[in-house]
């Protein structure tokens, strides 16, 4: 039986989910979070659904050893591939993510919505259902290789990648850019420089943090006092990955 003092498990294929972690820390400052980056198996976005589920089960097994009270999938690709499976297998709440297409559709005024995501996210049934509901004017923009540039802190290469990517679109006719990968949130400032001021740049991090708070309160396992803590874990090389995680957290 979970209690308030137990940690919340958070994971991603790498460091992208730290953008979500930063938002959750702001919304839930008293919680302890254990963040697991599955860097040994990154990226998820070019794998098959079956491969992602296999990787995710390995991560969850590691986090369950820490007696987590809830699990946050801080990865759009892994949510689409594995959230339903995990909810069927686990007896703790599982909070996933989805690209912020619904809120983007609400601010659209005749222009297009660029949905930037990994190739697998854009192929998934979950995302295509979202498109059927809120996808008027939405354009799928697969960004293969962009996640790896963020993982490598290759910021100038990422800027050039985005600059070339955006030449395919008339910026005057774009109303919003949806960041459908948590890694891309670290590129928000670059996108603000590259896109006109009227373009809204949207991601799912705030909604995920609010949903986690709601679920913990409903289960009566919300920790509301005490100092929170963040603990990092990785399947990769701890000597290089853990300092990288610390640096990325400072950017949130």
Averaged over 139-149, what is the pLDDT?
A: 96
pLDDT at 1 over 80: no
| Residue 4 annotated as catalytic | no
pTM of the model: 0.94
Averaged over 22-33, what is the pLDDT?
A: 97
How far is residue 175 from each of residues 108, 128, 133, 170, measured CA to CA in Å? Answer: 6, 20, 18, 11
* Catalytic annotation, pick one of 4, 55, 143, 181: 181
Q: What are phi and psi of 94, to 5 degrees?
A: -120, 120
The structural domains of the chain, with segments of one domain joined by +, span 8-97+205-250, 101-202
Domain 8-97+205-250 and domain 101-202, same fold? Reply is yes
| Residue 181 annotated as catalytic | yes
Q: Which CATH class is domain 101-202?
A: alpha beta
pLDDT at 163 over 80: yes
Q: Which CATH class is domain 8-97+205-250?
A: alpha beta
DSSP 120-131: HHHHSHHHHHHH
pLDDT at 23 over 80: yes
* Catalytic annotation, pick one of 4, 55, 75, 143: 75
What is the helix (H) or strand (E) element at residue 174, kind and residue range? strand 174-179
């Amino acid at each position: 039986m979970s209690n308030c003092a137990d940690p919340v498990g958070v994971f991603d294929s790498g460091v992208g989910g730290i953008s979500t972690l930063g938002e959750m820390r702001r919304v839930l400052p008293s919680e302890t979070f254990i963040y697991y980056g599955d860097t040994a198996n990154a990226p998820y976005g070019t794998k098959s659904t079956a491969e992602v589920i296999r990787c995710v089960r390995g991560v969850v097994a590691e986090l369950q050893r820490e007696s987590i009270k809830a699990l946050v999938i801080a990865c759009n690709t892994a949510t689409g591939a594995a959230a339903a499976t995990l909810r069927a297998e686990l007896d703790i709440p599982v909070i996933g993510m989805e690209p912020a297409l619904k809120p983007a559709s609400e601010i659209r005024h005749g222009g297009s919505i660029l949905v930037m995501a990994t190739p697998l996210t854009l192929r998934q049934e979950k995302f295509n259902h979202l498109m059927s509901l809120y996808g008027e004017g939405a354009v799928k923009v697969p960004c293969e290789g962009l996640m790896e540039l963020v993982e490598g802190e290759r910021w100038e290469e990422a800027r050039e990648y985005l600059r070339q990517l955006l030449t395919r679109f008339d910026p005057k006719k774009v109303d919003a850019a949806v960041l459908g990968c948590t890694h891309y949130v670290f590129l928000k400032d670059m996108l603000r420089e590259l896109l006109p001021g009227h373009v809204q740049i949207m991601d799912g991090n705030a909604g995920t943090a609010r949903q986690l708070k709601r679920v913990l309160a409903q289960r009566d396992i919300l920790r509301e006092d005490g100092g929170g803590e963040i603990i990092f874990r990785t399947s990769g090389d701890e000597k290089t990955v853990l300092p990288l995680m610390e640096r990325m957290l400072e950017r949130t």
